[in-house]
Amino acid sequence: MPTPPDPAVLYPDVAACGSLAAALRGEAGGCLGAVPVTSPDSAPLLHASVASTLAHREPLRISGWPHGRRWSIDGAEPFQGLPLIVGRTDDLAQVARAAKSWHEGAALDDIRRAAPFVRLTGRFEVPDRDPVRLTESEWQGMLQEARGLEYTWQEQYQALIEAAYAEPALRALYPFTSHWALRFSATTRPNLTVAGPCLTSGSDATYGVGRGFSTPDFGLFATADEAVAAAVHRLPSGLGPVTLGGWTGPR
């Protein structure tokens, strides 16, 4: 892989300001005012973060690409660390507008209107960390991601996500994916508790149900609906409402 150019060569305007944080303030024309915008000492030309007035938002992370002039953003919620907004642009002024809106607590749709490069992930904010709402938020994010896939073979995966969401017993569980496989948890992130079988969509137009993503030991099925029905049949008894997967390690 080629060595990336010196950030000062790739971003001479940022280098002239001394940091990406300072360059953002300059692009904002004063609108960032007293907004806390910082850059790390380790890579001040490539990274910056903008704190939010809302406790249920992480600081917006802004990164310059090392191989080409472009910036990306990531705005996440703090409990699970999952992105609510993302985006890529070569317009630093738009990044500044997104940063201002994120800091001020603007609604996610309003952030996108202020800076059209912003893409909503489909997840929504759950300030009170209600596990049922967090579960629905994750389903919405997964549905949006699946519906946005571009390749024909990924249509099977989309059909699997749609069929699982349509089944109340699975929709009540927290969804997560691994290796294009759909799994379920009785708790939210950050600590998942696997519940029930794994659903997979194969390149041979079949759907698998198994203990893990590598072997469909519970069977192969011609349709997503059939696979979902088989998965529901394999759900353990006594599953209650989803609970919070509390963090137990160091923060």
DSSP 3: P
Mean pLDDT, rounded, of the chain:
93
- CA proximity to 29, closest of 92, 107, 115, 108: 92
Angle between helices 92-104 and 20-27 (to 10 degrees): 90
Domain boundary among 83, 99, 120: 120
The tokens 């996610």 sit on which residue? 108
- My answer on whether 207 and 159 are in the same domain is yes
Judge whether residue 176 has pLDDT over 60: yes
- My answer on whether 135 and 241 are in the same domain is yes
Task: Name the pLDDT band for 178 (thresholds 50, 70, 90).
Answer: confident
Across 33-42, 77-86, 120-129, least confident range = 33-42
How do strand 187-190 and strand 243-245 relate by DSSP bridges?
parallel
Domain boundary among 120, 145, 171: 120
Judge whether residue 62 has pLDDT over 70: yes
Q: Residue 239 domain-assigned?
A: yes
- My answer on whether 19 and 85 are in the same domain is yes
Domain boundary among 77, 97, 120: 120
More confident call, 203 vs 197 = 197
SS3 97: helix
At 1 the pLDDT is: 64
Interatomic CA distance for residues 216 and 223, integer angstroms: 14
Average confidence (pLDDT) over 81-100 = 96
At 34 the pLDDT is: 80
Judge whether residue 163 has pLDDT over 50: yes
Q: Residue 186 domain-assigned?
A: yes
Q: Residue 251 domain-assigned?
A: no
Task: Tell me what percent of the residues of the chain surpass a pLDDT of 90.
Answer: 83
Judge whether residue 75 has pLDDT over 50: yes
- My answer on whether 167 and 105 are in the same domain is no
In tens, the pLDDT along 14-35 reads 999 999 999 999 887 777 878 8
- My answer on whether 42 and 106 are in the same domain is yes
At 231 the pLDDT is: 97
Q: Which domain, by its residues, includes 96? A: 7-120
The tokens 């001394």 sit on which residue? 18
Judge whether residue 65 has pLDDT over 50: yes
Q: Residue 250 domain-assigned?
A: no
Average confidence (pLDDT) over 2-8 = 88
- CA proximity to 60, closest of 23, 86, 93, 32: 86
At 179 the pLDDT is: 77
Q: Residue 20 domain-assigned?
A: yes
Average confidence (pLDDT) over 230-246 = 93
At 250 the pLDDT is: 42
At 249 the pLDDT is: 47
In tens, the pLDDT along 129-157 reads 999 999 999 999 999 999 998 776 788 99
178-238-220-158 Cα dihedral, nearest 10 degrees: -50
Q: Residue 194 domain-assigned?
A: yes
- My answer on whether 48 and 146 are in the same domain is no
- My answer on whether 11 and 111 are in the same domain is yes
pTM of the complete model: 0.92
Phi, psi of 101 (to 5 degrees): -65, -40
Helix (H) or strand (E) holding 182: strand 181-185
- CA proximity to 163, closest of 127, 199, 126: 199
Please answer whether residues 178 and 169 qualify as being in contact, where contact means their C-beta atoms are separated by less than 8 angstroms.
no
- My answer on whether 240 and 138 are in the same domain is yes
Q: Residue 13 domain-assigned?
A: yes
Rg (CA), the chain: 21
Q: How many structural domains does the chain have?
A: 2
Interatomic CA distance for residues 51 and 38, integer angstroms: 9
The gap from C-alpha 47 to its chain's centroid, in whole angstroms, comes to: 19
Interatomic CA distance for residues 153 and 77, integer angstroms: 32
Judge whether residue 71 has pLDDT over 50: yes
- My answer on whether 162 and 68 are in the same domain is no
At 247 the pLDDT is: 59
Q: Residue 2 domain-assigned?
A: no
Interatomic CA distance for residues 176 and 216, integer angstroms: 18
